[in-house]
Structure 1
Amino acid sequence: MNTKLVNSKEVNFDGLVGPTHNYAGLSEGNVASLSNANDTSSPKQAAKQGLKKMKALHDMGVTQGILAPQERPDMYALRRLGFTGTDAQVLEAAYKQAPALLSACCSASSMWTANAATVSPAADTADGKVHFTPANLTNKFHRSLEPDTTGNILKATFNDENHFIHHQHLPDNDHFGDEGAANHTRLCGDYHEVGVEIFTFGRYAFNRNKPMPSKFPARQTIEASKAVARLHGLSDAQTVYVQQNPGVIDQGVFHNDVIAVGNQNVLFYHQEAFLDTELFLNELRTKFGGELHAVEVKTEQVSVADCVSTYLFNTQIITLPSGEMAIIAPMHCHDNPSVKAYLDELVTLNTPIKQVHYFDVNESMKNGGGPACLRLRVAMSEQEVNAVNQQCLLTDAKFAELNTWVDKHYRDQLTFDDLRDPVLVTESRTALDELTQILALGSVYRFQQ
């Protein structure tokens, strides 16, 4: 592998949970999201659980970043859909006439920043810069509202044009359905080395005769994956395209990061994850070139159902300063006997994974997002890390400041009926306006412009 950068590291940028975090069951194909629809949520607890995980990784020696949430309720979308009058009148009319639309326009789903964008580090790109393409998320209306603001937030976070390139999201059409890093994995030796970027897709948009799921939608198209690779200037020798097994999509594996995860030279995946595993691994090994640890979990060890309910693969694999790898897992993995037994055995095997740390992210899990959903991974050199907006990197002081901010602005509980409260609009905008000052983002939201 060629070397372009030195002293590189992977930085996890976690999404802050927004003030309107609620359970609306908006995500078809996401079993947890659907099963917890209309439960009472706790925005304050959700935000604090996310911050606690960020702080824990920071304390482990991992550089940790923060990404701001979307503006919600999305009053602009509601007005575009025909609701008129004051904010109170718009919310009340939407509540009575189109409650599903109100739920969608209040979704805090941007907390799952694995869907925010696809990122290619400078080591892989033709121009030697870090490239970002926001995901268009066309498959779900509530998420399709995000890309423009996501792009604003990414530009304000990675705000040095000498190091970072920002692309517009792909055309807003299901033929180019793009779900971001949830269907993208980068493998490498050290982070500064040229890597192999794996794009996992669910279907061919322009060829309906190819395999595809029958129950739940395949959200990522191969056409979208190839477009992102072109935008980022990736060579054919650095890219692998693999189709997700349609059968596991129909079992609730709506993104590849629910059934596989990678870090450096480790690919951790379930036996049923891919449509043609042997062909995929042969191509991957050829292009990777170095020592690759392909860690396969057999169905007889952990069922797909247990993978979905515990998010065994929606865990983070991080490289600690010691060089060992650790899995960051939700408590659901600890509480499931077969999954816990598997992880206990995994750390004894001949792989770089030697630790497992469990975290309570239940507010996120109930909506179908585990630890890996909450973060966007960006491999950067020290020089590039220094070029990031430094107010978006977690420190002990920033952690304390953000917890105080959450305590000040977030509600302890939120129900569907609360979404029509016009005070929630004021609360959310006040909180986000203050957050943009804390993170030095400038005016990234429409209400600020």
Structure 2
Amino acid sequence: MRVVAIADADSFVKWSAALIDSAPSVDPHLLLVQTPLVVSAAQEHAALAGTGIRPEAVTRIAYDDVADWLTKDRPDVVVIGGRGPFVRLVIRQIDRVTPRPVVVSGLPGMSIPAQRGAALYRRHCDLMIVHSRREQRAFAKLAERLGLKMRLGLATLPYARPAHESAGGTDLVFAAQAIVPREPEERRQLADILRAAALADPSRRVVLKLRSRPELGETETHFERTGLTDLLRDRPDNLVFSHEPMSRALETAEGLVTVSSTAAIEAMAAGVPVIALTTFGVSKAHLNTVFSGSGVQGSADDVIARRFRHPRPEWLADNYFHDPSESTWWKEVERLVDLRRRGALAPRVVPIARGGMLHEAWQRKAVLGSEDHTVTGAVALAVGKPLVWAILTARKVLGRRGAESWSDAGSDITVTPAQYQDPIVRPRRSVLATAVID
């Protein structure tokens, strides 16, 4: 079966490549679409580490060439790995392809809470991948609450692989995230924790695991407004920065620390103990409610003292470590391919946007940024940017409270839109400074 993954940003390239590599008896290919978030050659190499995808099975391509490429290649399945607006835009290209492939999408890591935008942007896919029984319940409930018809396929996280042997490392590895914690003061506090952990034992390293080199023009999925590397210019010699693949960093790890990174699941799979840092609170905004009841949550003092811990078995079964035999995604893909070949699977076409051509031009410009050279895109930017900023400002002022909102830490879904939007085109590279609103 011919399977093509289409992606741009680092975490989505890693996820989609590992996912198609895990499928049995397929001929895989990876399309990297040129957007302001597209991975560099070094990021591509790190994302593909551990997969069997060969360099010749990777093609870099302009967005406007995607439909023609797919028409010539005639894949059975397309897996779209990207942020929601990217997924919707790529499906517009697939809407032009005959024969139409089965369209699959998903999120590149832990997805609790199940977010409104994640579902809305992917509702035109034939199948959405989730990675735990808990996520399966959450997205099913979210789809019901939003009135969406979504097919869900359960998979194990494709890059959460058991280690061949325990290396018995000595590094404290911190998995950096661009937006968690978000506030500048919180990020300064985090830098102080890492510095204190390094000073507590100069004989062992503290490794800040990073995913991009902004000085080389690299980007990542989310925009880091307060860089940890800038906050750690003054640091002990044993506090080091690393851009190697996470799988390699874990080979020399005594333990992994994170606020909410999916790297925690990679570490657990490899038998490396974890601390899920609670210093900044446990909330949907910090994307760390998933760790409640796991047994791995800990404080700054725990990090400095290196009191790592392993997760509780009962938590594992419901969160990313279900029996692989329970995974349904590939059987569902095969079923959908058979239906499509027999003409029994209707395409889920992206409808014309409310607001018509100008709105669609905005959607395109918001994803492609400087890669979009259309006049309508420039007009849409001028008209839409002030409107989007007004909407975001209103959300921050009014807040989003109540059951199943961002403030409700007791539920696994959010039916209200996010209050904050990352820039899809980074301010240093473009005047466009906000993402599409769901």
Q: Give the TM-score normalised by structure 2.
A: 0.27
Q: Give the TM-score normalised by structure 1.
A: 0.27
Q: Which has the higher contact order (CA 8 A, sep 6+)?
A: 1
